[in-house]
Amino acid sequence: MNEKDLAPPAEPAQAIPPGLMSRHHLEDLGVRAASGMVLVATAVGSLFAGGWLFVLYWLIAALAVHWEWQRLIGAPLPWLRFFSGGLALCAAAAFYRLGLTELAFAMIPLAAAFAAWAGGSGFLLWSGFGLFYAGGLLLATLSLRHAPFFGVCAIGWLFAVVWGTDVCAYFGGRLIGGPKLAPRISPGKTWSGFLVGVICGAAFGAFVAHVWPNVLAPLLPVFLLGLAAGAVAQGGDLFESWVKRRYGLKDSSRLIPGHGGVMDRLDGFIAAAIFAALFGMARGLPSAAAGLLYWQ
């Protein structure tokens, strides 16, 4: 990895005109699409299977995010931080599944404090935050899926919003082009892609929730909530890009062909899932999922 890998794209005169894609871009799109389809299929399969399979799927994702984060920041005692945090994530998943939610949530700050200590004075914040990042993904998805009536639909809505935002932002930015969203953080992102992605993702999510059997969530409030969740997802994508640039890395790892690491694939989903879980809980209904979808 060198400075050239992290440099901004070529000058406008050399850049590919909006609406056109090079052979390299098309090949990259093919790899991304193939690995993305596998991820979508396994995520949807775990959603409908529910139970321990759903818990295990998102525990593995959280463990991968935790490993990538602790590896990325380069703090001291990496294996101690990874194994202690991994044990805490496993305990949190087991406690949540067994109905001991208070213990599940308590595991994360305890593990974060230990990781901060292990990381040392120069990495206190970064080492500890990694546990909240990975733990937030795990507990947010479990909290939303846990609801017996709205749970499956809530995760399905979240999938539709985040995936729709991600895909439509990619194509919207490629085809329309225009001003950059945050050129110093993610040179490829444009305002056109951001707007197209957020609007389309919100529309996909509202449609899924509206036609979901026995849920039939109203379109307007769920669409507006989808706009917020899609924008948060794009913010999560930018946050992860900023962290990688801060530490001089292009990808969080090479675990997923065409996508880099698990963090690279789930950055937007992590932010949106945490936002959705907190929003749903804040409404004071029987479950976080009901707080997203019940607007009668």
- What's the CA gap between 268 and 239, in Å, rounded? 9
Domain count, the chain: 1
Residue 56 resides in a domain: yes
Q: In the prediction, which pLDDT does 248 show?
A: 87
Q: In the prediction, which pLDDT does 159 show?
A: 98
Concatenate the DSSP letters of all residues of 44-56 into one string.
HHHHHH-HHHHHH
Q: In the prediction, which pLDDT does 258 show?
A: 65
Residue 100 resides in a domain: yes
Residue 158 resides in a domain: yes
Is residue 115 over pLDDT 80? yes
Q: In the prediction, which pLDDT does 23 show?
A: 56
Range of the domain at 130: 21-293
User: φ, ψ for residue 234 (rounded to 5)?
Assistant: -65, -35
Tens digits of residue pLDDT in 32-63: 777 778 889 999 999 999 999 999 999 999 99
| Mean pLDDT (the chain, rounded) | 89
Concatenate the DSSP letters of all residues of 152-214 into one string.
HHHHHHHHHHHHHHHHHHHHHHHHH--SEEETTTEEEEEHHHHHHHHHHHHHHHHHHHHHSTT
Residue 4 resides in a domain: no
Residue 15 resides in a domain: no
Query: pTM of the predicted model, to two decimals?
Result: 0.88
Residue 274, C-beta contacts closer than 8 angstroms, at least 6 positions apart: 136, 137, 140
User: φ, ψ for residue 252 (rounded to 5)?
Assistant: -70, -25
Q: At what angle do helices 51-73 and 23-49 cross, to 10 degrees?
A: 140
Average pLDDT over residues 198-205: 98
Residue 246, C-beta contacts closer than 8 angstroms, at least 6 positions apart: none
Lowest mean pLDDT among 15-24, 119-128, 193-202, 281-290: 15-24
Residue 269 resides in a domain: yes
